[in-house]
Amino acid sequence: MKRALAGVLVAAIVGLSAGGALADAQPFIQVYFDDGSNGSFGEGQAVCGQAGLPVYLYVVAKNFDSWTAAVEYKIDIPDGIMYFGETFEPNPLGGGMVTYGNSQVGLTISWSLPNSAFGSKGLLISTVLGVWTADCYCQTGPQPIVVGAYPYPVPKTQPSFVRWPDLVEFSAVGMTSLLCPGPVSTTESTWGGIKALYR
């Protein structure tokens, strides 16, 4: 009887920890300026490039920690970058994909086989090709690149994804990246002055 009860308890704990995997860290979608060739996507800000030259934006889903069947989002791209098109990463498991729209007006992408969104590097959803424009002025301050909700047919409040195999839809946080992040203000101080801030 004790072994049966212990077995039920272990199964319940394993079930709770597996079910709570999405609750551990908030799933999010962000635009990065580096391609992750160093092992992780990490640069979410950049300064303006020369007008007419290409710029690549990498749309990455992180903390999904699940097999993913579909993703929906929209990116608000500032005037400093002109949207030119995008490519989609093939699923390493094979199978096809269906896309509707694009990142600039709203994109739905679904895979015929589930896509792995596990790991710290994240799932590269698409690579947006843009061109720097003459409207990119760092003198005017930061210009946000915002990942938002898919707007059709009924506007949502956040980007979303569908987990496989149960096909449950979850919300993700749409992150903000910056063109021209600007200087970080600093003030000189002594160690004693810093400690005094926390007393």
Token representation of residue 53: 């030259």
Residue 11 lies in a domain: no
Backbone angles phi, psi at 118, to 5 degrees: -90, 160
Average model confidence (pLDDT) across the chain: 84
Identify the pLDDT of residue 24: 65
C-alpha separations of 80 from 45, 129, 130, 182 in Å: 13, 13, 10, 15
Structural domain that includes position 82: 29-183
Residue 5 lies in a domain: no
DSSP designation for 169: E
Cβ-count burial of 1 within 10 angstroms (0-12 exposed, 13-18 middle, 19+ buried)? exposed
Residue 7 lies in a domain: no
Q: Is 182 helix (H, G, I), strand (E, B) or coil?
A: coil
Residue 24 lies in a domain: no
Q: What's the CA gap between 172 and 193, in Å, rounded?
A: 40
Q: Is 178 helix (H, G, I), strand (E, B) or coil?
A: strand
| Per-residue pLDDT reduced to its tens digit, 108-136 | 999 999 999 998 888 999 999 999 998 88
Nearest Cα to Cα of residue 48 among 124, 135, 144 = 135
Q: What is the CATH number of the domain that holds 155?
A: 2.60.40.680
Residue 91 lies in a domain: yes
Burial code of 68-90, b = ≥16 C-beta within 10 A, e = fewer? bbbbbbbbebbebbbbeebeeee
Residue 4 lies in a domain: no
Q: What percent of the chain has pLDDT over 90?
A: 56
| Per-residue pLDDT reduced to its tens digit, 10-52 | 333 333 334 444 446 899 999 999 877 766 787 888 988 999 9
Residue 48 lies in a domain: yes
According to DSSP, the residues that pair with 35 across neighbouring strands are none
- How many separate domains does the chain show? 1
Residue 52 lies in a domain: yes
Token representation of residue 74: 């929209």
The yes-or-no verdict on residue 146 having pLDDT over 60 is yes
The yes-or-no verdict on residue 3 having pLDDT over 50 is no
| Per-residue pLDDT reduced to its tens digit, 55-108 | 999 999 999 999 999 999 999 999 999 999 999 988 889 999 999 999 999 999
